[in-house]
Structure 1
Amino acid sequence: MDSTAKHREVVPFWFDPLCPWAWITSRWLLEVEEVRPVRADWRLMSLAHLNLVQRQGKDLSTEYRELMERSWGLVRVCAAATEYGGRGVLGPLYTALGTRLHNQRRRDEPAVIADALAEAGLPASLSEAAHSTHFDRLIVESHEEATREAGLDVGTPLLRVRGIVLFGPVVTPMPRGEAAGRLWDGVALVATTDGFFELKRSRDRKASFD
């Protein structure tokens, strides 16, 4: 372990593995770890729970509703892995899943979960959780820890920065090195500004994973 780890600011990061924007933000946070004294603390949230339960499925197209139903499987496997090996396994598993889902664009390949579990050194049997509701309570508890603070007018990722849970930052392409650090500095600044709620503009490009 890094000898300075105990002096690093822990940043809880709630993600749904299916979300490409959360994936980019997660890789940005790893870049930040290299240039600022912070450490990501990976946690689960569920876009399906947010959209189908908390928002009651309002204004969802049939296609997106079906995508949300399928997304449960990935989060359930992550929850099963957490119960098996502790929250420390989430980082390696998320990296293994996200690389396949987003960088390699293998969303529709059934082997993605098994391959990711193998890369993360986890039992193949955990893949069975994708089709079980056994771990849904753990997912909902983790998810609602974040949305109780951030509200429902959010998505994934959610980060707790200086005690405040924020949505984002949503950015593409991912800033690297000191540019990643400067973005972190800005996020930390707004998080500590009393009464700050939102900065936003419409996206004009697709997510880039390079």
Structure 2
Amino acid sequence: MAKEQSERDAVPFWFDPLCPWAWITSRWLLEVEQVRPVRADWRIMSLAYLNLVQREGKGLSDDYRNMMTQAWGPVRICRAAAEHSGRSVLGPLYTAIGIRFHNQGRHDDPTVITEALAETGLPESLAAAATSTEFDQLIRDSHDEAFNEVGLDVGTPVLRIGGTALFGPVLRRAPRGDAAGRLWDGLVLVAGTDGFFELKRSRDRSVKPSFE
């Protein structure tokens, strides 16, 4: 019999709703929940904080800088939602936002947030958090929990396995079923290896994320 969610090993997963690669990895982690005794523990990081503050905006194009400025909004709303209803709301809200941003391609649609809040049973008033700095310190605290360990030369996704925080896995599409479980098993092996530091290959920039 599968373990109840409360009996499963928590896997902290840091996301920014804007990142398509984190979105794919998050969908893989949900697949892993179906075949391994783990559960996703959703946490937030901020691409805006990482790129504009910690990295001081170095090397950013004007377009990317503008996108990072706009990236504050969704993550602030996620933090406000967690304060309103508890951290357990982050998973459903992330899914509601992510489907609209990534699967439906509605990045510039201002109704995405209000729709996602309504779908998750949250008040529309939380949308006002997008332009407020009220929760920024809490965002930084959550962000720093991951990035103080993995470093500033990576982005999202970040997850923690057995006490070891890792950047990735970065995937073009989310493996399903047994394939999702096998990838998880490999990461557990890597994370549990004493002295493990890095495993990476360069990404072909022509490869685009697939949200199938």
- How many residues are paired up? 209
Is it true that 1:125 corresponds to 2:125 in the alignment? yes
Q: Secondary structure at the match of 1:90?
A: helix
Write the deviation string for residues 106-161 of structure 1: whole angstroms up to 9, x where unpaired: 00000000000011110000000001111101100100011111111110111011
> For residues 3 and 154 of structure 2, what CA distance do their matches in structure 1 show?
35
Equivalent residue, structure 2, for 1:66: 66
Unpaired segments ≥5 residues, structure 2 = none
> For residues 186 and 65 of structure 2, what CA distance do their matches in structure 1 show?
35
Equivalent residue, structure 2, for 1:208: 210
Equivalent residue, structure 2, for 1:10: 10
Deviation, structure 1 residue 3: 5.4
Equivalent residue, structure 2, for 1:36: 36
Answer whether contact 2:46 2:75 (CA < 8 A) is retained. yes
1:1-210 equivalence runs, <5 A = 4-204=4-204, 205-210=207-212
> For residues 4 and 84 of structure 1, what CA distance do their matches in structure 2 show?
26
TM-score (norm 1): 0.97
After superposition, the CA RMSD in angstroms is: 1.0
Counterpart of 2:77, as a letter, is V
Write the deviation string for residues 56-84 of structure 1: whole angstroms up to 9, x where unpaired: 11111111111100000000000100000
Deviation, structure 1 residue 7: 2.8
Deviation, structure 1 residue 202: 2.3
> For residues 42 and 162 of structure 2, what CA distance do their matches in structure 1 show?
16
> For residues 128 and 81 of structure 1, what CA distance do their matches in structure 2 show?
11
Answer whether contact 2:97 2:116 (CA < 8 A) is retained. yes
Counterpart of 2:35, as a letter, is V
> For residues 126 and 4 of structure 2, what CA distance do their matches in structure 1 show?
33
> For residues 6 and 130 of structure 1, what CA distance do their matches in structure 2 show?
32
> For residues 93 and 20 of structure 2, what CA distance do their matches in structure 1 show?
16
Deviation, structure 1 residue 6: 3.4
Identity, in percent, stands at 69
Write the deviation string for residues 74-105 of structure 1: whole angstroms up to 9, x where unpaired: 00000100000010000000000000000000
Deviation, structure 1 residue 201: 1.7
Write the deviation string for residues 182-202 of structure 1: whole angstroms up to 9, x where unpaired: 000011111111221222222
Unpaired segments ≥5 residues, structure 1 = none
